[in-house]
A and B are shown apart, each in its own frame.
Chain A
Amino acid sequence: MIRSRLWFGPLLVAALTTALVFLTVPVLAIFLETTPAQIVRKLGEEQARDALWLSAQTTGAAMLLIVGLGTPAAYLLATRRFRGRAVVITLIELPLVLPPAVAGIALLAAVGPSGLLGRYVEDAGLQVALTTAGVVVALTFVAAPFYLRQAQAAFAAVDGTQVDAARTLGSSEAAAFARVVVPASLPGLAAGGALALGRALGEFGATLMFAGSLQGVTQTVPLAIYDDFATDFDAALALSAVLVVVSAALLLSVKFVRGADAVR
């Protein structure tokens, strides 16, 4: 017993230290290898500004789709029991474990020009592959499961009698959802939203395969970094630093919402 105590504590500390160094040093290196001047210069380039603006637009559009459709869908999954529910949940979660390259191929096979539904998409006058709309499709496909899972868990945690109480107080089912269920699950929804947003912002593989990397059309920040990487490593570093700052801000905002919830 005494011997195990002697080595077990230090082992835990050593493991944590290794993990911490391994996970933080590369991120720190980005900032140590670049300078504020380089970042400013990079942000002055049209290619970088295009990429940032395109990332903001496409991620925003994908998030609107994900939250708008995902919220009611997750509520249905959380509150109703129906045949095939487990299968539906598994199918929705499947994109979580798909390699991004496979996701890109899958989207091409489905809605690409010669894909399964490509003809119908074209007949409808739409063009998704190699367009900005295609980027939104790719981001939505890979990021939506993160939000759906969290939202479903958040809704399932809301006490059913809260809805019953709202009903007896004059709210229809839809009004009870809007006035009671959503406010009560807001921290969980925000956490799911931030996860999906982070995933969408960093999306690379599926976008590259499905939409390509055309500056101002489909070249989001991760694709621009990859583009720079071949020719100008310092430029890639500067753009990476910007993406790290945005992602860290996202993570902190989720912690803040969760923290406020813990007090509640």
Chain B
Amino acid sequence: MLSVEARTEIVDAALEVGAGQTLALAGPSGAGKTTLLRIIAGLTRPADGRVVVGEDVWLDGATGTFVTPEERRCGYVFQEHALFGHLNAWRNVAYPLRSLPRRARRARALALLDRFGLAARADAPVRELSGGERQRVALARALAREPRVLLLDEPLSALDPRTRAVAARELAALLAAVPEVPVVLVTHDIEDAAAMSDRVAVMDGGRVVQVGTAAELAARPATAFVADFTGAVVLAGVARAAGHGLVVVALDGGGEVQAVGDAAPGPVAVSVRPWEITLEPADAATPGSARNRVVGPVASVVDLGGRVRVAIASPQPLVAEVTSAAVAELGLAPGVQVAASWKATATRVTAR
């Protein structure tokens, strides 16, 4: 069990991660994610904060307790891996094993590398390792000291998009094989967060704005920022109550949409998932049962393989996800006028 509280100029956040659990810290750059990792590791010392692992207090601003980073046993995988260039792969992994006799050091380093499928690369200098290999060496090195907490800063950022999804699955499996250790990983990508963690804490401006599973965050975003971050379309408007359990929102730039709920009147953000939006010709005679309808020209059509993202240049831009068949049938191309519609029940309203 790891619990962290910190209040500095950059962050004001509190988190708890159970043994064997993985928490993803997600959010835009500058949100304070890395700062929080550095506070856990002891590389940054906030005047006001508390870091407790199990029974051990690593930091307590109130009593002046501060355990130095070298005494914390905190495995840290840095963003660019921070491997030591003057050492080869196994010597990097053996770096923290100073207390072992020389021969045992090499044996333990090789065992760790073998666990990550890198036994054959043990004698390779760092410069000859691929991005994925470096990451695994960094992870093996971080685990060599049998850490009480494992921290990973953007573990996939150095990889190219094609190998990323595979690497995320591999890493999730590796993390699951590290029992009893709380894991905190930083990412700015919600899909990576969903793939590798049990829960996601979304950070913005130094604060944790929502904690939950990725599915919970997508289904019930607490703020417009979370909705936007989880991939929803977010529109700004002003809400007024309409009775019958409905809220009507006058969108900035024109148009009205309805949502189920009881949001307070005033400025709000309306969010809808792109795949909840259906498209039809702008001059369709009979609109369906969907309450919300926005008309505008198609701005772009991007094929993601099976699903297609269609951006619409309405007063506030929208993105819909539809099938390739629908694109062909409707003749969707940039400039074509379309109507985007979605149900009131698929619309979320959050205060802004």
Interface residues of B in 67-87 (CB under 8 A from A): 68-70, 72-76, 78-80, 82, 84-86
Interface SS of chain B: loop
A3 at the A/B interface (Cβ < 8 Å)?
Answer: no
Residues of B with C-beta under 8 A to A167: 42-43, 68-70
B143: shortest Cβ distance to chain A, in Å?
11
Interface residues of A in 82-113 (CB under 8 A from B): none
For this complex, into which size category does the number of interface residues on chain A fall? 10 to 19
User: Are A183 and B86 within 8 A (Cβ)?
Assistant: yes
Residue of A nearest to B70 (CB): A170
Taking a contact as CB atoms closer than 8 A, the residue among A171, A175, A184 that contacts B85 in the complex is: A184
Taking a contact as CB atoms closer than 8 A, the residue among B42, B84, B95, B145 that contacts A184 in the complex is: B84
Interface residues of A in 161-187 (CB under 8 A from B): 161-162, 164-172, 175, 179-180, 183-184, 186
A45 at the A/B interface (Cβ < 8 Å)?
Answer: no
Bound-state CA distance A41–B78 (Å) is 63
Residue of B nearest to A180 (CB): B84
Taking a contact as CB atoms closer than 8 A, the residue among B80, B96, B98 that contacts A161 in the complex is: B80
B136 at the A/B interface (Cβ < 8 Å)?
Answer: no
Residues of B with C-beta under 8 A to A184: 84-86
Q: How many residues in B have their beta carbons less than 8 Å from beta carbons of A?
A: 28
Residue of A nearest to B76 (CB): A168
Residues of B with C-beta under 8 A to A175: 70
User: Are B68 and A164 within 8 A (Cβ)?
Assistant: no
Bound-state CA distance A168–B81 (Å) is 13
B37-61 vs A, Cβ < 8 Å mask (1 yes, 0 no): 0100111000000000000000000
Residue of B nearest to A167 (CB): B69
B155: shortest Cβ distance to chain A, in Å?
14
Interface residues of A in 129-186 (CB under 8 A from B): 159, 161-162, 164-172, 175, 179-180, 183-184, 186
Residue of A nearest to B71 (CB): A170
B78: shortest Cβ distance to chain A, in Å?
5
B343 at the A/B interface (Cβ < 8 Å)?
Answer: no
B46: shortest Cβ distance to chain A, in Å?
16
Taking a contact as CB atoms closer than 8 A, the residue among B43, B86, B98, B127 that contacts A168 in the complex is: B43
Selected A-B contacts with CB under 8 Å, 9 pairs: A162-B84, A164-B82, A167-B70, A168-B76, A170-B70, A172-B68, A183-B84, A184-B85, A264-B86
| Residues in A lying within 8 Å of B, measured CB to CB | 159, 161-162, 164-172, 175, 179-180, 183-184, 186, 264
